[in-house]
Structure 1
Amino acid sequence: MFSRKEQLIQRTGKSGVGRRSFLNLLVTEFHGTKSRDGKEQVLANLANFAYDPVNYDYLRELKVIKLFLETLSENNKILVRFAVGGICNLCSDPENREYVLRNQGIPLVSSLLSSPDEETVLSAITTLMFLITPPTKPEIASPQIINCMINVETSQKSIVSNIKPGSRVSILRVITKEDVHAFAQLTNDYNPIHVNSERNIAHGAFLNGLLSGILGTKLPGPGTLVVDQVLRFPKPCFVGDTVELSVEIVSMRAIISIVFLCIIFTNALENKQMREKNLTKETKKSHLPIGCYCGVFMSGQFKKGSKEQPNGNPALLQEHSETFPCNPVGNKICINRCLEIFVKHLPNSQAILCGSMGRDCVKERAYLFVKNCKDVWINSNLSPSREYCCKDGNPYKCPP
Protein backbone atom coordinates (compact mmCIF):
# COMPACT_ATOMS: atom_id res chain seq x y z
CA MET A 1 0.00 0.00 0.00
CA PHE A 2 2.79 2.43 0.89
CA SER A 3 5.87 3.23 -1.22
CA ARG A 4 9.54 3.54 -0.42
CA LYS A 5 11.57 6.44 -1.79
CA GLU A 6 13.89 4.00 -3.55
CA GLN A 7 10.88 2.50 -5.35
CA LEU A 8 9.62 5.94 -6.37
CA ILE A 9 13.01 6.96 -7.76
CA GLN A 10 13.33 3.70 -9.66
CA ARG A 11 9.79 3.98 -11.03
CA THR A 12 10.11 7.66 -12.01
CA GLY A 13 13.46 7.46 -13.76
CA LYS A 14 15.97 10.22 -14.40
CA SER A 15 13.82 12.18 -16.83
CA GLY A 16 10.45 11.74 -15.14
CA VAL A 17 8.60 14.08 -12.79
CA GLY A 18 9.24 13.00 -9.20
CA ARG A 19 6.82 12.93 -6.30
CA ARG A 20 8.18 16.16 -4.79
CA SER A 21 7.91 18.00 -8.12
CA PHE A 22 4.33 16.84 -8.55
CA LEU A 23 3.39 17.90 -5.02
CA ASN A 24 5.03 21.26 -5.64
CA LEU A 25 2.90 21.67 -8.78
CA LEU A 26 -0.22 20.97 -6.73
CA VAL A 27 0.72 23.52 -4.04
CA THR A 28 1.53 26.15 -6.68
CA GLU A 29 -1.79 25.51 -8.42
CA PHE A 30 -3.71 25.77 -5.13
CA HIS A 31 -2.22 29.18 -4.36
CA GLY A 32 -2.51 30.40 -7.95
CA THR A 33 -5.96 29.31 -9.09
CA LYS A 34 -9.05 31.43 -8.55
CA SER A 35 -11.35 28.53 -9.37
CA ARG A 36 -13.28 27.14 -6.43
CA ASP A 37 -13.53 23.72 -8.07
CA GLY A 38 -9.82 23.83 -8.86
CA LYS A 39 -8.88 24.50 -5.23
CA GLU A 40 -11.16 21.72 -4.02
CA GLN A 41 -9.69 19.21 -6.46
CA VAL A 42 -6.08 20.14 -5.62
CA LEU A 43 -6.70 19.98 -1.87
CA ALA A 44 -8.38 16.58 -2.24
CA ASN A 45 -5.26 15.33 -4.03
CA LEU A 46 -2.97 16.74 -1.32
CA ALA A 47 -5.09 15.11 1.38
CA ASN A 48 -4.74 11.75 -0.39
CA PHE A 49 -0.96 12.16 -0.66
CA ALA A 50 -0.87 12.89 3.08
CA TYR A 51 -1.87 9.26 3.64
CA ASP A 52 1.52 7.86 2.52
CA PRO A 53 4.45 8.32 4.96
CA VAL A 54 6.91 8.52 2.06
CA ASN A 55 5.48 11.98 1.31
CA TYR A 56 5.89 13.43 4.80
CA ASP A 57 9.28 15.07 4.18
CA TYR A 58 7.98 16.67 0.99
CA LEU A 59 4.78 17.84 2.64
CA ARG A 60 6.71 19.46 5.49
CA GLU A 61 9.17 21.07 3.09
CA LEU A 62 6.37 22.46 0.90
CA LYS A 63 4.45 23.70 3.98
CA VAL A 64 1.39 21.63 3.11
CA ILE A 65 0.57 21.04 6.80
CA LYS A 66 0.47 24.82 7.28
CA LEU A 67 -1.80 25.06 4.24
CA PHE A 68 -4.15 22.45 5.76
CA LEU A 69 -4.29 24.30 9.10
CA GLU A 70 -4.96 27.68 7.47
CA THR A 71 -7.74 26.18 5.36
CA LEU A 72 -9.63 25.01 8.47
CA SER A 73 -10.84 28.60 8.91
CA GLU A 74 -12.26 28.86 5.38
CA ASN A 75 -16.00 29.25 4.76
CA ASN A 76 -15.93 26.58 2.05
CA LYS A 77 -17.05 23.40 3.84
CA ILE A 78 -15.58 21.17 1.13
CA LEU A 79 -12.13 22.73 1.51
CA VAL A 80 -12.42 22.37 5.28
CA ARG A 81 -13.41 18.71 4.90
CA PHE A 82 -10.37 17.94 2.74
CA ALA A 83 -8.03 19.99 4.96
CA VAL A 84 -8.97 18.22 8.19
CA GLY A 85 -8.87 14.91 6.30
CA GLY A 86 -5.31 15.67 5.25
CA ILE A 87 -4.33 16.53 8.83
CA CYS A 88 -5.99 13.34 10.03
CA ASN A 89 -3.99 11.32 7.49
CA LEU A 90 -0.59 12.64 8.54
CA CYS A 91 -0.76 13.57 12.23
CA SER A 92 -0.09 10.04 13.47
CA ASP A 93 3.54 10.78 12.58
CA PRO A 94 5.32 12.26 15.67
CA GLU A 95 7.01 15.09 13.77
CA ASN A 96 3.82 16.07 11.97
CA ARG A 97 1.88 15.84 15.25
CA GLU A 98 4.30 18.22 16.96
CA TYR A 99 3.95 20.73 14.12
CA VAL A 100 0.14 20.60 14.37
CA LEU A 101 0.25 21.04 18.14
CA ARG A 102 2.67 23.99 17.96
CA ASN A 103 0.39 25.78 15.50
CA GLN A 104 -2.88 25.82 17.48
CA GLY A 105 -4.00 22.51 16.04
CA ILE A 106 -6.17 21.47 18.98
CA PRO A 107 -8.43 24.56 19.05
CA LEU A 108 -8.62 24.65 15.24
CA VAL A 109 -9.60 20.99 14.96
CA SER A 110 -11.88 20.91 18.01
CA SER A 111 -13.86 23.85 16.62
CA LEU A 112 -14.96 21.52 13.81
CA LEU A 113 -16.75 19.13 16.18
CA SER A 114 -19.90 21.23 15.82
CA SER A 115 -19.67 21.30 12.01
CA PRO A 116 -22.86 20.26 10.18
CA ASP A 117 -20.69 18.20 7.84
CA GLU A 118 -20.46 14.70 9.30
CA GLU A 119 -17.29 13.73 7.42
CA THR A 120 -15.55 16.79 8.84
CA VAL A 121 -16.64 15.86 12.36
CA LEU A 122 -15.38 12.28 12.02
CA SER A 123 -12.01 13.46 10.72
CA ALA A 124 -11.80 15.98 13.58
CA ILE A 125 -12.48 13.28 16.19
CA THR A 126 -9.88 10.94 14.69
CA THR A 127 -7.35 13.77 14.52
CA LEU A 128 -7.86 14.64 18.18
CA MET A 129 -7.26 11.00 19.08
CA PHE A 130 -3.92 11.13 17.24
CA LEU A 131 -3.02 14.40 18.98
CA ILE A 132 -3.39 12.99 22.49
CA THR A 133 -0.11 13.02 24.43
CA PRO A 134 0.45 13.31 28.21
CA PRO A 135 0.82 17.12 27.97
CA THR A 136 -2.19 17.58 25.63
CA LYS A 137 -4.59 15.14 27.29
CA PRO A 138 -6.11 17.70 29.72
CA GLU A 139 -6.94 20.07 26.84
CA ILE A 140 -8.35 17.39 24.53
CA ALA A 141 -10.30 15.74 27.36
CA SER A 142 -11.79 19.05 28.49
CA PRO A 143 -15.53 19.06 29.35
CA GLN A 144 -16.30 21.20 26.30
CA ILE A 145 -14.71 18.75 23.83
CA ILE A 146 -16.13 15.73 25.67
CA ASN A 147 -19.64 17.18 25.42
CA CYS A 148 -19.21 17.80 21.69
CA MET A 149 -18.18 14.19 21.18
CA ILE A 150 -21.12 12.91 23.22
CA ASN A 151 -23.47 14.97 21.05
CA VAL A 152 -21.95 13.42 17.95
CA GLU A 153 -22.27 9.91 19.39
CA THR A 154 -25.92 10.30 20.29
CA SER A 155 -26.93 12.15 17.12
CA GLN A 156 -29.36 10.22 14.96
CA LYS A 157 -27.79 11.86 11.96
CA SER A 158 -24.38 10.35 12.59
CA ILE A 159 -22.85 8.97 9.44
CA VAL A 160 -21.83 5.81 11.29
CA SER A 161 -25.41 5.01 12.28
CA ASN A 162 -26.55 5.70 8.72
CA ILE A 163 -24.17 3.27 7.05
CA LYS A 164 -26.11 0.13 6.22
CA PRO A 165 -26.53 -2.30 3.32
CA GLY A 166 -27.93 -0.35 0.41
CA SER A 167 -26.23 2.95 1.36
CA ARG A 168 -24.99 4.48 -1.89
CA VAL A 169 -22.93 7.47 -3.04
CA SER A 170 -22.23 8.66 -6.60
CA ILE A 171 -20.02 11.38 -8.08
CA LEU A 172 -19.66 12.78 -11.59
CA ARG A 173 -16.28 13.71 -13.06
CA VAL A 174 -15.18 14.92 -16.50
CA ILE A 175 -11.88 13.27 -17.44
CA THR A 176 -9.56 15.99 -18.77
CA LYS A 177 -6.30 15.89 -20.72
CA GLU A 178 -4.63 17.54 -17.72
CA ASP A 179 -5.82 14.71 -15.43
CA VAL A 180 -4.31 12.04 -17.68
CA HIS A 181 -1.00 13.85 -18.21
CA ALA A 182 -0.61 14.60 -14.49
CA PHE A 183 -1.20 10.94 -13.67
CA ALA A 184 1.28 9.90 -16.37
CA GLN A 185 3.87 12.21 -14.78
CA LEU A 186 3.21 10.81 -11.33
CA THR A 187 3.44 7.14 -12.37
CA ASN A 188 5.82 7.48 -15.35
CA ASP A 189 3.24 5.59 -17.42
CA TYR A 190 3.60 7.32 -20.79
CA ASN A 191 1.98 4.54 -22.76
CA PRO A 192 1.00 6.20 -26.10
CA ILE A 193 -2.60 5.03 -25.75
CA HIS A 194 -2.84 7.40 -22.77
CA VAL A 195 -0.89 10.46 -23.95
CA ASN A 196 -0.24 10.33 -27.68
CA SER A 197 -3.15 8.75 -29.54
CA GLU A 198 -6.04 10.11 -31.54
CA ARG A 199 -8.30 9.49 -28.55
CA ASN A 200 -6.30 9.25 -25.34
CA ILE A 201 -7.54 6.62 -22.89
CA ALA A 202 -7.56 7.37 -19.15
CA HIS A 203 -5.40 5.11 -16.99
CA GLY A 204 -7.44 2.45 -15.20
CA ALA A 205 -5.46 3.15 -12.03
CA PHE A 206 -6.49 6.82 -12.24
CA LEU A 207 -10.18 5.82 -12.27
CA ASN A 208 -9.50 3.55 -9.31
CA GLY A 209 -7.90 6.54 -7.56
CA LEU A 210 -11.14 8.49 -7.98
CA LEU A 211 -12.93 5.54 -6.40
CA SER A 212 -10.46 5.61 -3.50
CA GLY A 213 -11.42 9.24 -2.91
CA ILE A 214 -15.06 8.21 -2.47
CA LEU A 215 -14.21 5.35 -0.12
CA GLY A 216 -11.99 7.51 2.10
CA THR A 217 -14.10 10.67 2.23
CA LYS A 218 -17.74 9.78 1.46
CA LEU A 219 -18.70 6.12 1.90
CA PRO A 220 -17.78 4.39 4.18
CA GLY A 221 -15.73 7.56 4.93
CA PRO A 222 -12.64 8.64 6.90
CA GLY A 223 -10.63 5.76 8.34
CA THR A 224 -11.59 3.30 5.60
CA LEU A 225 -8.88 0.84 4.54
CA VAL A 226 -9.22 -1.32 1.43
CA VAL A 227 -8.05 -4.89 2.12
CA ASP A 228 -9.16 -6.59 -1.09
CA GLN A 229 -10.34 -5.37 -4.48
CA VAL A 230 -11.26 -6.82 -7.89
CA LEU A 231 -11.23 -4.49 -10.90
CA ARG A 232 -12.54 -5.04 -14.43
CA PHE A 233 -12.40 -2.54 -17.29
CA PRO A 234 -14.77 -3.82 -20.01
CA LYS A 235 -14.56 -0.60 -22.06
CA PRO A 236 -12.08 2.28 -22.38
CA CYS A 237 -12.68 5.70 -20.82
CA PHE A 238 -11.51 8.50 -23.13
CA VAL A 239 -10.36 12.01 -22.37
CA GLY A 240 -13.43 14.24 -22.43
CA ASP A 241 -15.78 11.52 -21.19
CA THR A 242 -17.96 12.15 -18.15
CA VAL A 243 -17.86 9.28 -15.66
CA GLU A 244 -20.22 8.46 -12.83
CA LEU A 245 -18.54 6.54 -10.00
CA SER A 246 -20.92 4.78 -7.63
CA VAL A 247 -20.20 2.99 -4.34
CA GLU A 248 -22.81 0.86 -2.58
CA ILE A 249 -22.63 -1.02 0.73
CA VAL A 250 -23.44 -4.72 0.29
CA SER A 251 -22.97 -6.05 3.83
CA MET A 252 -21.90 -4.79 7.26
CA ARG A 253 -19.55 -6.91 9.35
CA ALA A 254 -16.09 -6.33 10.78
CA ILE A 255 -15.16 -5.91 7.10
CA ILE A 256 -17.63 -3.96 4.99
CA SER A 257 -18.35 -5.42 1.54
CA ILE A 258 -18.82 -2.87 -1.22
CA VAL A 259 -19.71 -2.93 -4.92
CA PHE A 260 -18.76 -0.08 -7.19
CA LEU A 261 -19.46 0.93 -10.78
CA CYS A 262 -17.94 3.41 -13.24
CA ILE A 263 -20.36 4.49 -15.98
CA ILE A 264 -19.02 6.48 -18.93
CA PHE A 265 -21.15 9.18 -20.54
CA THR A 266 -19.22 10.14 -23.66
CA ASN A 267 -18.44 13.83 -24.15
CA ALA A 268 -21.01 14.90 -26.72
CA LEU A 269 -19.16 17.63 -28.63
CA GLU A 270 -15.73 15.98 -28.78
CA ASN A 271 -17.07 12.63 -29.85
CA LYS A 272 -19.49 14.13 -32.36
CA GLN A 273 -16.50 15.79 -34.03
CA MET A 274 -14.49 12.57 -33.79
CA ARG A 275 -17.38 10.55 -35.18
CA GLU A 276 -17.84 12.95 -38.09
CA LYS A 277 -14.12 12.72 -38.83
CA ASN A 278 -14.21 8.93 -38.77
CA LEU A 279 -17.38 8.83 -40.86
CA THR A 280 -15.72 10.96 -43.53
CA LYS A 281 -12.85 8.47 -43.70
CA GLU A 282 -15.23 5.51 -43.81
CA THR A 283 -17.40 7.07 -46.52
CA LYS A 284 -14.40 7.56 -48.76
CA LYS A 285 -13.28 3.99 -48.20
CA SER A 286 -16.36 1.80 -48.06
CA HIS A 287 -19.51 3.83 -47.27
CA LEU A 288 -20.07 1.77 -44.13
CA PRO A 289 -23.17 2.69 -42.04
CA ILE A 290 -22.78 3.89 -38.48
CA GLY A 291 -23.86 1.77 -35.52
CA CYS A 292 -26.38 2.38 -32.74
CA TYR A 293 -26.00 5.63 -30.80
CA CYS A 294 -28.09 6.69 -27.82
CA GLY A 295 -28.60 10.37 -27.06
CA VAL A 296 -30.62 12.32 -24.50
CA PHE A 297 -31.88 15.71 -25.64
CA MET A 298 -33.75 18.20 -23.49
CA SER A 299 -37.15 19.46 -24.60
CA GLY A 300 -35.70 22.94 -25.16
CA GLN A 301 -33.51 21.57 -27.96
CA PHE A 302 -36.24 20.45 -30.36
CA LYS A 303 -39.84 21.09 -31.38
CA LYS A 304 -42.08 18.23 -30.39
CA GLY A 305 -43.82 16.63 -33.35
CA SER A 306 -41.39 18.17 -35.84
CA LYS A 307 -39.18 16.13 -38.15
CA GLU A 308 -36.36 18.63 -37.76
CA GLN A 309 -33.18 17.48 -36.06
CA PRO A 310 -32.65 18.63 -32.45
CA ASN A 311 -30.45 21.67 -31.90
CA GLY A 312 -26.99 21.39 -30.38
CA ASN A 313 -25.43 18.32 -28.83
CA PRO A 314 -27.13 15.71 -26.66
CA ALA A 315 -26.82 16.12 -22.90
CA LEU A 316 -25.73 12.48 -22.79
CA LEU A 317 -24.32 10.33 -25.58
CA GLN A 318 -23.57 6.60 -25.56
CA GLU A 319 -22.36 4.37 -28.40
CA HIS A 320 -23.72 0.84 -28.27
CA SER A 321 -21.28 -2.00 -28.86
CA GLU A 322 -23.66 -3.98 -31.09
CA THR A 323 -24.88 -3.22 -34.63
CA PHE A 324 -28.45 -3.77 -35.76
CA PRO A 325 -30.31 -4.09 -39.09
CA CYS A 326 -30.77 -0.88 -41.10
CA ASN A 327 -34.58 -1.01 -41.03
CA PRO A 328 -37.46 -0.15 -38.66
CA VAL A 329 -36.91 -3.39 -36.75
CA GLY A 330 -33.25 -2.50 -36.22
CA ASN A 331 -34.26 0.99 -35.09
CA LYS A 332 -36.63 -0.53 -32.55
CA ILE A 333 -33.90 -2.84 -31.21
CA CYS A 334 -31.52 0.10 -30.94
CA ILE A 335 -34.14 2.06 -28.97
CA ASN A 336 -34.70 -0.86 -26.60
CA ARG A 337 -30.97 -1.28 -25.96
CA CYS A 338 -30.58 2.44 -25.27
CA LEU A 339 -33.61 2.40 -23.01
CA GLU A 340 -32.06 -0.38 -20.93
CA ILE A 341 -28.94 1.74 -20.39
CA PHE A 342 -30.71 4.93 -19.36
CA VAL A 343 -33.57 3.43 -17.33
CA LYS A 344 -30.96 1.76 -15.12
CA HIS A 345 -29.67 5.20 -14.10
CA LEU A 346 -32.94 7.13 -13.82
CA PRO A 347 -32.67 7.47 -10.00
CA ASN A 348 -29.58 9.67 -10.52
CA SER A 349 -30.67 11.19 -13.82
CA GLN A 350 -31.12 14.72 -12.46
CA ALA A 351 -27.54 15.03 -11.19
CA ILE A 352 -26.14 13.33 -14.31
CA LEU A 353 -28.03 15.52 -16.79
CA CYS A 354 -27.38 18.78 -14.96
CA GLY A 355 -23.70 17.98 -14.73
CA SER A 356 -23.45 17.06 -18.42
CA MET A 357 -25.58 19.48 -20.44
CA GLY A 358 -23.36 22.56 -19.95
CA ARG A 359 -26.21 25.07 -19.58
CA ASP A 360 -29.04 26.08 -17.25
CA CYS A 361 -32.58 24.85 -17.79
CA VAL A 362 -35.98 25.32 -16.14
CA LYS A 363 -38.73 22.70 -16.22
CA GLU A 364 -37.41 20.83 -19.26
CA ARG A 365 -37.98 17.15 -19.96
CA ALA A 366 -35.38 14.65 -21.20
CA TYR A 367 -36.11 12.61 -24.35
CA LEU A 368 -34.34 9.57 -25.71
CA PHE A 369 -33.13 9.80 -29.32
CA VAL A 370 -31.22 7.16 -31.27
CA LYS A 371 -29.17 6.87 -34.44
CA ASN A 372 -29.07 3.57 -36.26
CA CYS A 373 -27.16 3.15 -39.54
CA LYS A 374 -27.84 6.73 -40.66
CA ASP A 375 -26.36 9.85 -39.09
CA VAL A 376 -29.86 11.12 -38.27
CA TRP A 377 -31.43 11.35 -34.81
CA ILE A 378 -34.70 9.45 -34.35
CA ASN A 379 -37.00 10.64 -31.55
CA SER A 380 -38.24 7.65 -29.56
CA ASN A 381 -40.77 9.93 -27.79
CA LEU A 382 -39.73 8.21 -24.55
CA SER A 383 -39.24 10.51 -21.58
CA PRO A 384 -39.26 10.19 -17.77
CA SER A 385 -42.37 11.69 -16.22
CA ARG A 386 -40.47 14.51 -14.56
CA GLU A 387 -39.18 17.99 -15.24
CA TYR A 388 -35.57 19.08 -14.74
CA CYS A 389 -34.25 22.34 -13.35
CA CYS A 390 -30.49 22.96 -13.45
CA LYS A 391 -28.27 25.91 -12.61
CA ASP A 392 -24.46 26.01 -12.84
CA GLY A 393 -24.34 22.26 -13.37
CA ASN A 394 -26.40 21.43 -10.26
CA PRO A 395 -30.04 20.32 -9.98
CA TYR A 396 -32.57 22.20 -7.88
CA LYS A 397 -36.27 21.78 -7.08
CA CYS A 398 -38.36 23.13 -9.93
CA PRO A 399 -40.79 25.92 -9.05
CA PRO A 400 -44.48 25.03 -9.09
Structure 2
Amino acid sequence: MLNLKQWVLVVACLCLAISIEARRKLKRDQEESLKTIEDQYDEDLGEIEPCQCGVFMSQQVGIREGRRGRPRGPPQGEPVVTYDTDSPSLPCGTGGFKHCVSKCLDVILKYLPRAGSVICGAIERDVYREKAFLFIKNCGGDWSPTNFSAGKEFCCKDGEHQKC
Protein backbone atom coordinates (compact mmCIF):
# COMPACT_ATOMS: atom_id res chain seq x y z
CA MET A 1 0.00 0.00 0.00
CA LEU A 2 2.83 2.35 0.80
CA ASN A 3 4.37 1.68 -2.60
CA LEU A 4 1.12 2.62 -4.33
CA LYS A 5 0.99 5.98 -2.46
CA GLN A 6 4.61 6.71 -3.42
CA TRP A 7 3.90 5.74 -7.03
CA VAL A 8 0.86 8.07 -7.19
CA LEU A 9 2.93 10.87 -5.63
CA VAL A 10 5.72 10.40 -8.25
CA VAL A 11 3.19 10.41 -11.10
CA ALA A 12 1.51 13.55 -9.70
CA CYS A 13 4.89 15.31 -9.43
CA LEU A 14 5.78 14.35 -13.02
CA CYS A 15 2.43 15.64 -14.29
CA LEU A 16 2.93 18.90 -12.39
CA ALA A 17 6.48 19.32 -13.76
CA ILE A 18 5.31 18.63 -17.33
CA SER A 19 2.45 21.12 -17.08
CA ILE A 20 4.77 23.82 -15.64
CA GLU A 21 7.26 23.30 -18.47
CA ALA A 22 4.44 23.38 -21.03
CA ARG A 23 3.21 26.70 -19.61
CA ARG A 24 6.74 28.15 -19.75
CA LYS A 25 7.13 27.06 -23.37
CA LEU A 26 3.75 28.50 -24.30
CA LYS A 27 4.62 31.79 -22.59
CA ARG A 28 8.00 31.95 -24.43
CA ASP A 29 6.29 31.27 -27.76
CA GLN A 30 3.71 33.97 -27.08
CA GLU A 31 6.39 36.50 -26.13
CA GLU A 32 8.38 35.73 -29.29
CA SER A 33 5.34 36.09 -31.52
CA LEU A 34 4.36 39.35 -29.80
CA LYS A 35 7.92 40.63 -30.27
CA THR A 36 7.76 39.76 -33.97
CA ILE A 37 4.45 41.58 -34.32
CA GLU A 38 5.81 44.63 -32.44
CA ASP A 39 8.86 44.69 -34.72
CA GLN A 40 6.59 44.66 -37.76
CA TYR A 41 4.59 47.58 -36.42
CA ASP A 42 7.80 49.32 -35.41
CA GLU A 43 8.82 49.19 -39.04
CA ASP A 44 5.55 50.90 -39.97
CA LEU A 45 4.75 48.63 -42.86
CA GLY A 46 2.24 51.16 -44.17
CA GLU A 47 5.15 53.36 -45.25
CA ILE A 48 7.32 51.75 -47.87
CA GLU A 49 9.67 54.01 -49.77
CA PRO A 50 12.57 53.69 -52.17
CA CYS A 51 16.05 53.97 -50.75
CA GLN A 52 18.36 56.73 -51.95
CA CYS A 53 22.16 56.65 -51.68
CA GLY A 54 24.28 59.78 -51.72
CA VAL A 55 28.03 60.32 -51.74
CA PHE A 56 29.27 63.55 -50.16
CA MET A 57 32.84 64.82 -50.01
CA SER A 58 34.80 65.81 -46.87
CA GLN A 59 34.14 69.55 -47.19
CA GLN A 60 30.40 68.93 -47.45
CA VAL A 61 30.30 67.02 -44.16
CA GLY A 62 32.40 69.42 -42.07
CA ILE A 63 35.82 67.78 -42.33
CA ARG A 64 38.57 70.23 -43.16
CA GLU A 65 41.40 69.55 -45.58
CA GLY A 66 43.98 67.09 -44.33
CA ARG A 67 42.03 66.16 -41.18
CA ARG A 68 40.57 62.82 -40.31
CA GLY A 69 37.22 62.35 -38.76
CA ARG A 70 33.60 61.49 -39.14
CA PRO A 71 30.86 63.62 -40.62
CA ARG A 72 29.69 66.36 -38.30
CA GLY A 73 26.02 67.00 -38.76
CA PRO A 74 24.05 66.90 -41.97
CA PRO A 75 25.89 67.30 -45.27
CA GLN A 76 25.84 70.63 -47.09
CA GLY A 77 24.61 70.94 -50.65
CA GLU A 78 23.75 68.18 -53.05
CA PRO A 79 25.47 64.79 -53.17
CA VAL A 80 28.25 64.32 -55.69
CA VAL A 81 26.80 60.98 -56.77
CA THR A 82 23.32 59.58 -56.10
CA TYR A 83 21.62 56.25 -56.66
CA ASP A 84 17.95 55.41 -56.22
CA THR A 85 16.83 51.83 -55.70
CA ASP A 86 14.59 50.36 -58.37
CA SER A 87 11.34 50.09 -56.47
CA PRO A 88 9.75 51.17 -53.21
CA SER A 89 10.61 48.00 -51.37
CA LEU A 90 12.07 49.01 -48.01
CA PRO A 91 10.04 49.72 -44.89
CA CYS A 92 10.64 52.81 -42.81
CA GLY A 93 12.49 52.31 -39.53
CA THR A 94 15.64 50.58 -38.36
CA GLY A 95 15.25 47.48 -40.54
CA GLY A 96 14.67 49.59 -43.64
CA PHE A 97 17.70 51.72 -42.80
CA LYS A 98 19.94 48.65 -42.55
CA HIS A 99 18.63 47.20 -45.83
CA CYS A 100 19.09 50.55 -47.54
CA VAL A 101 22.72 50.76 -46.36
CA SER A 102 23.29 47.22 -47.60
CA LYS A 103 21.85 47.98 -51.05
CA CYS A 104 23.94 51.14 -51.31
CA LEU A 105 27.12 49.29 -50.36
CA ASP A 106 26.40 46.65 -53.00
CA VAL A 107 26.19 49.35 -55.68
CA ILE A 108 29.23 51.25 -54.44
CA LEU A 109 31.40 48.15 -54.30
CA LYS A 110 30.56 47.53 -57.93
CA TYR A 111 31.88 50.97 -58.95
CA LEU A 112 34.73 51.24 -56.44
CA PRO A 113 37.54 50.42 -58.91
CA ARG A 114 36.67 53.47 -61.00
CA ALA A 115 35.40 55.67 -58.16
CA GLY A 116 38.01 58.35 -58.84
CA SER A 117 36.87 59.01 -62.39
CA VAL A 118 33.18 58.83 -61.41
CA ILE A 119 33.53 61.28 -58.52
CA CYS A 120 35.84 63.68 -60.37
CA GLY A 121 33.55 63.63 -63.41
CA ALA A 122 30.53 64.48 -61.27
CA ILE A 123 31.97 67.11 -58.94
CA GLU A 124 31.98 70.70 -60.11
CA ARG A 125 35.12 71.86 -58.32
CA ASP A 126 38.73 70.89 -57.79
CA VAL A 127 39.30 68.47 -54.94
CA TYR A 128 42.48 67.91 -52.96
CA ARG A 129 42.80 64.98 -50.54
CA GLU A 130 39.11 64.61 -49.73
CA LYS A 131 37.32 61.44 -48.79
CA ALA A 132 33.91 60.36 -50.01
CA PHE A 133 31.24 59.54 -47.39
CA LEU A 134 28.09 57.47 -47.88
CA PHE A 135 24.77 58.86 -46.69
CA ILE A 136 21.31 57.40 -47.24
CA LYS A 137 17.80 58.73 -47.39
CA ASN A 138 14.98 56.28 -46.65
CA CYS A 139 11.35 57.32 -46.15
CA GLY A 140 12.01 60.93 -47.03
CA GLY A 141 13.60 63.12 -44.40
CA ASP A 142 17.20 64.22 -44.29
CA TRP A 143 20.37 62.49 -45.37
CA SER A 144 21.54 60.07 -42.66
CA PRO A 145 25.23 59.18 -42.18
CA THR A 146 26.23 55.54 -42.47
CA ASN A 147 29.80 55.84 -41.11
CA PHE A 148 31.09 54.34 -44.36
CA SER A 149 33.67 56.20 -46.41
CA ALA A 150 36.08 55.42 -49.18
CA GLY A 151 39.34 54.27 -47.71
CA LYS A 152 41.28 56.56 -49.99
CA GLU A 153 41.51 60.27 -50.65
CA PHE A 154 40.52 61.81 -53.95
CA CYS A 155 42.21 64.55 -55.92
CA CYS A 156 40.44 66.11 -58.91
CA LYS A 157 41.57 68.87 -61.23
CA ASP A 158 39.28 70.18 -63.97
CA GLY A 159 36.99 67.13 -63.67
CA GLU A 160 39.86 64.64 -64.06
CA HIS A 161 41.03 62.23 -61.39
CA GLN A 162 44.68 62.70 -60.39
CA LYS A 163 47.02 60.92 -58.05
CA CYS A 164 47.22 62.74 -54.69
Same fold? TM cut 0.5: yes
**Shorter-chain TM-score: which interval?**
0.5 to 0.7
Overall identity of the aligned pairs, in % = 39
Give SS of 2:138's match: strand
Separation in 2 of the partners of 1:292 and 1:333? Answer: 9
What residue number does 2:114 align with? 348
- Which segments of structure 1 move beyond 6 Å, counting only runs of 4 or more? none
Please list the CA deviations of residues 356-392 of structure 1 after superposition, one character each: whole Å capped at 9, or x if unmatched: 0111110000111100002210111111210000011
Contact kept in structure 1, 2:71 and 2:145, CA below 8 Å: no
CA distance in 1, matches of 2:71, 2:113: 27
What is the rounded CA distance, in whole Å, between the counterparts of 1:365 and 1:382 in structure 2?
10
Q: C-alpha separation between the residues in 2 aligned to 1:312 and 1:361?
A: 16
Residues 67-146 of structure 1: pairs in structure 2 closer than 5 A: none
2:86: which partner in 1?
321
Distance across 1 between alignment mates of 2:91 and 2:48: 10
Q: CA RMSD in A?
A: 1.5
Quick one: which of 69, 75, 79 aligns to 1:310?
Answer: 75
Question: Number of paired residues?
Answer: 110
| 1:368 corresponds to 2:134 | yes
Q: TM-score normalized by structure 2?
A: 0.63
CA distance in 1, matches of 2:162, 2:98: 34
Distance in 1 separating the partners of 2:83 and 2:150:
18
Q: For the residues of structure 2 that align with 1:290 and 1:340, how far apart are their CA atoms?
A: 19
Show the 5 A alignment for 1:184-199. none
CA contact (8 A) 2:57 2:130 kept: yes
Give the Cα–Cα distance (whole angstroms) in 2 for the partners of residues 396 and 305 of structure 1: 24
Q: How far apart are residue 394 of structure 1 and its match? A: 0.4
* Alignment correspondent of 1:392: 158
More helix by share: 1
Q: Does structure 1 residue 295 correspond to structure 2 residue 57?
A: no
**Which one of 381, 391, 395 corresponds to residue 147 of structure 2?**
381
Determine which structure has the larger strand proportion and give its number. Answer: 2
Q: Which has the larger radius of gyration?
A: 2
Gaps of 5+ in 2: 1-46, 63-69
Distance, in Å, in 1 between the alignment partners of 2:49 and 2:61 is: 23
User: In 2 relative to 1, CA 374–353 (structure 1 residues): closer, same or farther, beyond 3 Å?
Assistant: same
Match of 1:338 in 2: 104
For the residues of structure 2 that align with 1:388 and 1:311, how far apart are their CA atoms?
18
Q: Is the 8 A contact 1:360 1:392 kept in 2?
A: yes
Query: 1:209-257 CA deviation, whole Å, 9 max, x = no partner?
Result: xxxxxxxxxxxxxxxxxxxxxxxxxxxxxxxxxxxxxxxxxxxxxxxxx
Give the structure, 1 or 2, with the largest relative contact order (CA under 8 Å, sep 6 or more): 2
**Aligned 1:142-153 pairs, distance under 5 A:** none
